[in-house]
Structure 1
Amino acid sequence: MSTNAPAQVKKLSIIEKAGYSLGDLAANLVFQTLVTYLAFFYTDIYGLKPEDASVITLVVGLVAGFIFNPVIGAIADRTRSKWGKFRPWILFTAIPLGICALLAFSTPDFSYKGKMIYAAATYSLLLLLYAANNLPYSALSGVITGNMSERNSISSYRFVAVMFAQFFVQVFMLPIILAVGKGDKAAGIETVMTWLAIIGTVLLLITFFTTRERVIPTAEQESGLKEDLKDLFKNRPWIIMLLVTTLVFITLAVKGGSYVYYFNNYVDKERLELFISPITDFFNLIGMNFFGEDPRSAGFGLFNAGGIIMMIIGITVSKKLADKYGKRDVFLTSLFLSTLFILFFIFYPPKSVGLMFFSQILHGFFYGISTPLLWAMIADVADYSEWKNNRRATAIIFSAMMVGLKVGLSVGSALVASIIGHYGYISVEGKQQVVQPATVATGARMLVSIFPSIPFFLACGLLFFYTIDKKMEGQIESDLKQKRSF
């Protein structure tokens, strides 16, 4: 009997699913901060010029994507320990990741050149540690169980946790930064990141202690790095998912990093304040002043809140739809519909606040359906590789997807800084206030509509060539189950 028999466990415990999901909650306290605030931090808190911020995020991100991830993926697949291949990485990177996240969002009193060197160094170290933690974490989902339905369930748990992290970062973080810093955004973000580092470390340790690895390659499945890479580039579903992942994260970084500019420079302040006042008045009445006194930061938080709440609802129906229609078809349909509601922002004038919020919540719902399916599909690609080649290389497959994530994040973040700079944005630092040129409003509107729509539409087109449909999912699972039972 193979040592792989435990992989066929039909049901995972709620404790293990929830424990696994906390790892992504921790990682996304970092990741969502990068998506939402990196460009804003570098230009409005740290004081870099948009073009310099763009170069740092792009160059460091590409190095991280094409060097850090493949190397760590190859090493992780060859890791041997009493805890398995991937869980030790989660354990030993938990504390360093938290410390580095704090350092990357600190503002030391250096010269401008010193600030650029410090930003590049801390961002590089942060992405290295993020890869060393999150890549094995992601690969862990492919070896907790070989049951594809349970993987859909794990992904749903995981991305509900992601939404909680995203909810905090995008809804409450900016008002909290302003509140605890008493107007000093640099001091505020350092305080917030300190607490996030502590919380994230604890959550990662919980993930380590509550999960187990069950899909264990047999001796005849072991392969060298050269064979793994050869298998990858013959794996058509992998190539498609690499491109799709890159395009998805370009869009997430562009729109996520642009909303703060959109609310500060495009949305009509008086109409926004009037629109959100019933909500903020209610919270003030019950003594829960979450959003502070600034209507723009309050509107920004509530706008994100609506989208994230609907994303969570979308995630809850994702598994049922995927089980019935297959991951590919549900992912394609929901991604396409979510893109339409991004595109609609190009038509809204500054005073159409209600339409902005309406489009955001519908975008959130449809994108929420697609969210857990991306990573579940990548786990299926690992199964597809084992099915075709009789060799399993889970981490290197996930590392390739992490290349897509890092490249997408880096290109998207660089585009935000570069495009807003192209439209004449003036960098500020600390407590400074400046009047931005009128062209910045046009740039902000383009950054939340046209520019992020393009990569999503391209990803939808690529999914027509992804061959692992519902029928093939069942065949792969059945064949692998039979192989692993002998």
Structure 2
Amino acid sequence: MKETKNVYEGENRSLHMKERIGYGVGDFANNMMYNPVNTFYTYFLTNVAGLGAGVVGTLLLLSRLMDGVSDLIVGTFMEKIHSKHGKARPWLLWWCIPFAVSLVLMFSAPDFGTTGKIVYAFLTYNLAVTVVYTAINLPFGSLAALMTKNQTERGYLNISKMVFAFGGGMVVSATTLPLVNFFGGDSAAWIKTFIIYGIVAIIFFLVVFFTTKEAVTETAEDTGKTENVNIKEALLSLLKNKYWVMLLGIFFLNSTVNAFIGVNVYYGQYIMNDDSLVGSLAIYQNVASFVAFAACTVIIRRVGKQKIAIAGVTISFLGYAMVLLGPTSYVLLYVAAVVKGFGNAALSGVMYGMLADTVEYNDWHSHIRAEGLVFSANSIGQKVGSGIGSAALGWILAAFGFVSNSAAQPESAINGIRTIFLYVPLFIFAAMFIILLFYKLDKEYDGIIADMAKRK
């Protein structure tokens, strides 16, 4: 009698819905830190801690460059440290509480004087983002490639991840300033707000740990095919992996444009005279994103990731461009937010799945499989991009004469805010469009998997 194959076992397995959702909620937790850093941290340092915009820009750039080094360190440890819980999952258990504690410390503003505030901001930011966020986010990102080699399932995992990422981002964007005002509007109110976010993050990271398993790691161990990765050779192999290099550029540029989202708070306060605008725009954009994610789930198998990604950057470009028709029109701002939401979801819904596929390409092309390094080295692109974006935001504000912790700004500063809000994203999305035209891995993937199967 022929034995029936269990499709939920093995390295090419299908995934239960519980696993897809359980994995996805991890990015809701990540956004308890990622979204506030991009959306509110520059504002917090200038308008709550009272630091100069130029100082903030320099501080963030230096920190992000250090952050890139931490990615390689964590990626290296992932390749060396093995636990009974797997290669990636135990990191979520080890680092979820430090994640919450460091998040609260980062959004605290003790009165240490100007120099003391700068030192405190530098230390707490690097503790939270450079050390803790890296130690939990890199393993989380690598986990999808360790759960299955099934390309379609990886696409579903990525969509689940991004649905919850956008959900977490929407919640944080929409509730942070209202919660701060509810708790009194002072620096202590920011601490109370981020205590709540920290608790939410702990709970959701634990959900990921208890609902997922690393089938690829288990299969390798069962068949005796685990190997010690030579870190130098693995890094060199990535540089020869053309699709990984392309995605390095995409992640870099996408993180740069996301860092400029921090200008939304300033645009709402100083140009629209509406502090609630940042939350309202986030709701419109993220609701549109949820709809787009649902569409991606239906068409990803038929269309492929590259075409969806190209559509995403094109739609995002149009969303930013249409605001030029009426920069202070609420109708245009909200319609543009919806368009941006569709575009952003299309790109975000496939980019991590595309990155996971480069693991297999690297294995096929260079005979080196190193999930931790693929995601950690690529994360450097994200963090350097985010650092450059955050630094440029602070520097441009300073160059245009922005006055920290002031209810009114000179006309030059207003022009600087407009420049960042209206024009910078257009150039970035145009560059992403050009890069994606050269990505052909979707067409090659099935052949690569079949070829590797013959090697075994």
TM range (shorter): over 0.9
Asked if 1:78 corresponds to 2:80, the answer is yes
Aligned partners of 1:364, 1:76: CA distance in 2, in Å? 34
Structural mapping, 1:181-220, within 5 Å: 181=184, 183-184=185-186, 186-216=187-217, 217=220, 219=225
Contact 2:268 2:276 survives alignment (8 Å):
no
Amino acid at match of 2:365: K
Q: Aligned residue for 2:446? A: 474
From 384, 405, 424, the counterpart of 2:401? 424
Contact 1:318 1:370 survives alignment (8 Å):
no
Structure 2 runs not aligned, ≥5 long: 1-7
Count residues in correspondence: 443
Q: Aligned residue for 1:289? A: none
Amino acid at match of 2:83: S
From 164, 172, 175, the counterpart of 2:175? 172
From 38, 46, 51, the counterpart of 2:49? 46
Give the 3-state SS of the residue equivalent to 1:7 in structure 2.
Answer: coil
Asked if 1:457 corresponds to 2:405, the answer is no
Amino acid at match of 1:479: D
Contact 2:54 2:397 survives alignment (8 Å):
no
Q: Aligned residue for 1:265? A: 270
The alpha-carbon deviation at position 328 of structure 1 amounts to: 1.1
The alpha-carbon deviation at position 471 of structure 1 amounts to: 1.8
Q: Aligned residue for 2:361? A: 384
From 237, 246, 250, the counterpart of 1:231? 237
Q: Aligned residue for 1:109? A: 111
The alpha-carbon deviation at position 153 of structure 1 amounts to: 0.8
Contact 1:159 1:371 survives alignment (8 Å):
yes
The alpha-carbon deviation at position 220 of structure 1 amounts to: 6.5
Contact 2:311 2:346 survives alignment (8 Å):
no
From 298, 301, 311, the counterpart of 1:323? 301
Asked if 1:439 corresponds to 2:417, the answer is no
Contact 2:79 2:229 survives alignment (8 Å):
no
Structure 1 runs not aligned, ≥5 long: 270-295
Aligned partners of 2:402, 2:322: CA distance in 1, in Å? 24
Asked if 1:56 corresponds to 2:59, the answer is yes
Cα deviation digits, residues 261-287 of structure 1 (max 9, x gap)? 1111122x4xxxxxxxxxxxxxxxxxx
TM-score normalised by L of structure 2? 0.94
Contact 2:315 2:342 survives alignment (8 Å):
no
Contact 1:38 1:413 survives alignment (8 Å):
no
Contact 1:50 1:427 survives alignment (8 Å):
yes
Cα deviation digits, residues 357-398 of structure 1 (max 9, x gap)? 111111111221111211101000111111222321001000
Contact 2:289 2:345 survives alignment (8 Å):
yes
Contact 2:322 2:332 survives alignment (8 Å):
no
Aligned partners of 2:175, 2:397: CA distance in 1, in Å? 24
Aligned partners of 2:382, 2:248: CA distance in 1, in Å? 9
Contact 1:266 1:442 survives alignment (8 Å):
no
Contact 1:69 1:131 survives alignment (8 Å):
yes
Asked if 1:6 corresponds to 2:10, the answer is yes
Aligned partners of 1:111, 1:29: CA distance in 2, in Å? 28
Contact 2:71 2:380 survives alignment (8 Å):
yes
Amino acid at match of 2:37: L
TM-score normalised by L of structure 1? 0.88
Cα deviation digits, residues 228-256 of structure 1 (max 9, x gap)? 112111111111111110011100111x1
Amino acid at match of 1:171: A
The alpha-carbon deviation at position 479 of structure 1 amounts to: 3.4
Give the 3-state SS of the residue equivalent to 1:212 in structure 2.
Answer: coil
> Is the alpha carbon distance of 1:89 and 1:415 closer, same or farther for their aligned partners in structure 2, counting shifts above 3 Å?
same
The alpha-carbon deviation at position 221 of structure 1 amounts to: 4.7
Q: Aligned residue for 2:160? A: 157
Amino acid at match of 1:476: I
The alpha-carbon deviation at position 347 of structure 1 amounts to: 3.5
The 4+ residue runs of structure 1 with deviation greater than 3 A are 217-222, 477-483
Q: Aligned residue for 1:364? A: 341
Over the matched positions of the two proteins, sequence identity in percent amounts to 28
Q: RMSD in angstroms over aligned alpha carbons?
A: 1.7
Aligned partners of 2:390, 2:250: CA distance in 1, in Å? 17
The alpha-carbon deviation at position 349 of structure 1 amounts to: 4.0
Cα deviation digits, residues 63-93 of structure 1 (max 9, x gap)? 101x100111111022211111111111101
Asked if 1:332 corresponds to 2:285, the answer is no
Q: Aligned residue for 1:282? A: none
> Is the alpha carbon distance of 1:482 and 1:159 closer, same or farther for their aligned partners in structure 2, counting shifts above 3 Å?
farther
> Is the alpha carbon distance of 1:51 and 1:5 closer, same or farther for their aligned partners in structure 2, counting shifts above 3 Å?
same
Give the 3-state SS of the residue equivalent to 1:219 in structure 2.
Answer: coil
Aligned partners of 1:452, 1:366: CA distance in 2, in Å? 13
Q: Aligned residue for 1:405? A: 382
The alpha-carbon deviation at position 133 of structure 1 amounts to: 0.4
